[in-house]
Amino acid sequence: MVSKKGLPPFEAGASRNDTDFLHVYNWQILEKLAQDKKNYKVINGHRVITIEAAVKAGALFLIPESKSPHGCDVTPDGRYIIVGGKLDTHASVYDFKKIKELIDKKEFAGTDPYGIPILDREKSMHGQVELGLGPLHTSFDSQDGILYTSLYVDSQIVKWDYKNLKVLDKVNVHYNIGHLDTMEGKSAKPKGKYAIALDKLSIDRFNPVGPLHPQNHQLIDITGAKMDLIYDMPIPLGEPHDVVSIAASKLTPALTYNMGTNSRTGEASPYATLAGQERVERNGKNVTVYATMIRSHINPEHIEVNKGDNVTIHLTNLERAQDETHGFGIDLYNIHASLEPGKTASVNFVADMEGVFPYYCTEFCSALHLEMMGYLLVKDPNKKYESAKNSKLKTLSPEALKAEYDKVIATNKATDDVIQEVVKYLKEKHYEKYPKVKALVDDALDQYGHIKEVKAKADEAYKKGDVNGAILWEYQVWQYMVKTADVGLRAKNNLAKEIATPMSPAAAKGEEAYLKGGCNGCHVIGQVSSGPDLTGVLLRHENGEKWVADFIKDPAKFYNDDYVKAMIDFFKLRMPNQHMSDEEIKNIIQYLKWIDENAGM
């Protein structure tokens, strides 16, 4: 097959040579050349040094390498260069020490058609290793001389020794791996432990949902002599193209942003708004709103503008608890902002539609997330609007209205009792010693601090005989209580974990397996939820540890057991098989023991 111009197809013509070239640059010389206009041309705003200038200055050289090379990686010590052949079964190991000696001696095998010096391939090389079909990219181990290379055609990772030039192990991946990574494997001090295969195809690894399949990332244990594939993770993106790992211990992020940080620049925003500073300012047809967001309230709750006004809303997330992000959207106006704790963001739009438009939080943030909203009223300045009466609960008899009032009072008292129990626990355990817990408590107390003023309004309305108004104010009291309880209970749970006895390594792994297995979706430690509380579960059966282990291993075998059948009938759910390994089950038992040891917390 040839083209109309008599040339072979691109895929054949591009690979017709026996070798291609590895380009070697002296970047320090190139940096100096780039300071003199006679050495470069400007292309699309970039200074491009000419081949002639680079060759003349001794900054550019070529070394033959396997045809259609793909990966080019430097060893952690900087001495060796690993090149994958792609269309060759070998990986080549070049020795920079030898390359430098040849350059210093100006010992060249020839030049290419552009006059670039070519170094002798064999004299530049430490050696070659036959790895398999389609060697591409490489990442390094913590062990000296050990590295891992992806084999695209063979769908494998090969572990080999680049110093002694020998293959040590291979593992199948699924399928057609391109890039790969080992933990900090591209750094001067690789950590080893795990490798990640970035596979371009998954085919039969996951349930098909259409012609397009996900890509596949696979986690591989590389701690032993033999590699062990331990986990598949589907990736619903385009081709997985390289990844760099970093130890979690090196990450020290801020828990929240400094209050009023601009969401785009990271600098302090001049529009930052604190509690009590919320306001609406009008300047002709320009309306500026300074608003705050905190669970579960947007202040101001009502914004009134005229049709045609240019509206800017500056929003500040007042949360002090980490990860309490709020979103802001306005119905029908195609407006949205996202604010992490402490950030200030702005939205701007022309109010060109008349009507009442809800604005609301778009991130599920608390039990009262749905109530976190307000209303934008856009009026036509040329129209007159009849005043609407304030909304009432509904038409009730005095007796029914009093009953509703008594009901909400009782609900608020019960909620406050819970809050006081939590506060007592937090104070007894000296929550203030733990910064993360203290931040949550401060957040909760801030919410609780609003209750006194609202409660006074409720009591005043009731004294005046306005039972309807009193109920509405008591509803507002309840909202503040729920916000307080929501944050307070999270503070209590975090504090309990801080002061509990330290977990053994096995218990910690058990908690990890428990969470990854989704067990917490039905079982909430310390209370009944969609499934029974697991506190004390090891004591509910004779030889409890074995019973629980067997049940986790194969729940279906126990479905007709009287105890299990009663649980199924009560919760209307069956325990699914989470396919836990024996080691994971063993660790979960240790985690359950730790829970029992700290049940009093």
Q: What is the CATH number of the domain that holds 569?
A: 1.10.760.10
Domain that holds residue 517: 505-597
Residue 388: its pLDDT value, please? 47
Same domain, 235 and 276: no
- Going by the DSSP 8-state scheme, the letter that residue 119 receives in this structure is -
> Does residue 355 lie in a domain region?
yes
Residue 521: its pLDDT value, please? 65
**Tell me, what amino acid is at 52?**
E
* Residues in a beta bridge with 335: 330
Nearest alpha-carbon partner for 346 in 424, 283, 417, 287:
287
Same domain, 144 and 247: yes
Residue 323: its pLDDT value, please? 86
For residues 123 and 51, the answer to whether their CB atoms sit within 8 Å is no
Same domain, 576 and 520: yes
Q: Tell me which of 476, 499, 522 is where a domain ends.
A: 499
Same domain, 406 and 460: yes
CA-angle at 391, arms to 290 and 388, nearest 5°: 80
Residue 387: its pLDDT value, please? 46
For residues 118 and 63, the answer to whether their CB atoms sit within 8 Å is yes
- How many angstroms separate the CA atoms of 97 and 556, rounded? 64
Same domain, 342 and 294: yes
- How many angstroms separate the CA atoms of 99 and 117, rounded? 12
- How many angstroms separate the CA atoms of 315 and 362, rounded? 14
> Does residue 46 lie in a domain region?
no
- How many angstroms separate the CA atoms of 555 and 535, rounded? 19
- How many angstroms separate the CA atoms of 136 and 122, rounded? 21
Same domain, 205 and 266: no
> Does residue 525 lie in a domain region?
yes
Kindly give the parts of the chain with pLDDT less than 50: 1-2, 387-391
Same domain, 579 and 548: yes
State phi, psi for 537 to the nearest 5 degrees. -65, -30
Same domain, 477 and 445: yes
- How many angstroms separate the CA atoms of 476 and 482, rounded? 10
> Does residue 57 lie in a domain region?
no
Q: Tell me which of 464, 499, 534 is where a domain ends.
A: 499
> Does residue 108 lie in a domain region?
no
CATH number for the domain spanning 307: value is 2.60.40.420
Q: Which helix (H) or strand (E) holds 231?
A: strand 228-235
- How many angstroms separate the CA atoms of 598 and 601, rounded? 6
CATH number for the domain spanning 205: value is 2.130.10.10
> Does residue 122 lie in a domain region?
no
What is the phi-psi region of residue 9: left when phi exceeds 0, alpha when psi lies from -120 to 50, beta otherwise? beta
Nearest alpha-carbon partner for 123 in 151, 94, 164:
94
Residue 169: its pLDDT value, please? 97
Pairing of strands 373-379, 302-306: parallel
Pairing of strands 335-339, 326-330: antiparallel
Cβ count near 177 (within 10 Å): 28
Nearest alpha-carbon partner for 26 in 65, 71, 57:
57
CA-based end-to-end distance of the chain: 77
For residues 592 and 537, the answer to whether their CB atoms sit within 8 Å is yes
Residue 390: its pLDDT value, please? 43
> Does residue 48 lie in a domain region?
no
What is the number of domains present in the chain? 4
3-state SS class at 63: strand
Same domain, 155 and 242: yes
User: Is residue 405 reached through a cis peptide bond, with omega within 30 degrees of 0 on the bond before it?
Assistant: no
For residues 523 and 532, the answer to whether their CB atoms sit within 8 Å is yes
Q: Tell me which of 193, 225, 252 is where a domain ends.
A: 252
Distance, C-alpha 330 to centroid of its chain: 26
601: Cβ–Cβ under 8 A, 6 or more apart, which residues? 496, 499, 500
- Sign of torsion over alpha carbons 472, 475, 479, 480: positive
Pairing of strands 156-161, 192-199: unpaired
CA-angle at 373, arms to 371 and 376, nearest 5°: 150
- How many angstroms separate the CA atoms of 10 and 407, rounded? 80
- DSSP labels for 421-470? HHHHHHHHTTGGGSHHHHHHHHHHHHHHTTHHHHHHHHHHHHHTT-HHHH
> Does residue 21 lie in a domain region?
no
3-state SS class at 282: strand
For residues 519 and 576, the answer to whether their CB atoms sit within 8 Å is no
Which two three-digit tokens encode residue 480?
């503040």
**Tell me, what amino acid is at 51?**
I
Total-model pTM: 0.63
Same domain, 531 and 554: yes
Same domain, 135 and 219: yes
Same domain, 535 and 592: yes
- Going by the DSSP 8-state scheme, the letter that residue 213 receives in this structure is P
